[in-house]
Amino acid sequence: MAQHNGKIAQVIGPVVDVRFDTEGGTLPEILDALEITNGDQKLILEVQKHIGEDMVRAIAMDSTDGIYRGMEVRPLGSPIKMPTGDQVKGRLFNVVGQTIDGINALDNSKGRPIHAQAPKFDELSTATEVLFTGIKVIDLIEPYAKGGKIGLFGGAGVGKT
C-alpha cells in the first residue's frame, strides 16, 4: 500500500505527533524518517511509536521552532541513513547524514541506516592491532589496541589535551 502525507497534530518540544490518512495507505514504520518542509529548511523526524490507527509519535532531529499544527509531513519510506565508503573520509555530517562542511553534498541513497544490526560475532576481527594516536609519548609508553575503549584521566591543568 502507498504511504500518504500526514499533518502535524501536536508539537511538544522535540516530540511531534503526526496524523496520517490511512484510507488506502499505511502508517510509516517505526524508525522510518519523515520530512517537514518549512520554507527553504527541511526538518527530519524519526518515527518512534504508533499511536492508534492513524497517528505516529516522532522525534525531531533538529529544533522544532517554526513548526505548527496542520503542517504537511512527508514519509521518506526508509530509516535515516548515513553515507559510507571512501567519500566520507575527512567530511563533517549532521545527525541525519547531510554534509555540514560547506563542500558538495554526497549521494546518500546507498547509505547505511543508523539503526543497523551489529555484526555477527564470527564476522568480527580478532587480530590485535595498535592504534597510532600520532602522539609519540603515548604510542611509545602506552600503545592502545585498535577497537578497544580508551579513557584518559587526569587532574586539571596536567596536559590531557
For 110-132, how does the pLDDT look when each residue is reduced to its tens digit (9 = 90+)? Answer: 889 999 888 888 877 778 888 88
- The pLDDT assigned to 80 comes to 93
Mean pLDDT of the region 7-15? 96
Whether the predicted pLDDT of 25 surpasses 80: no
Domain locations along the chain: 6-77
User: What CATH number belongs to 6-77?
Assistant: 2.40.10.170
**Cβ–Cβ under 8 Å, residues 101 and 92:** yes
Give the pairing of strands 112-113 and 32-38.
unpaired
Q: What is the pTM of this model?
A: 0.73
- The pLDDT assigned to 1 comes to 54
Mean pLDDT of the region 78-89? 89
- The pLDDT assigned to 122 comes to 83
Find where cell 502507498 sits: 2
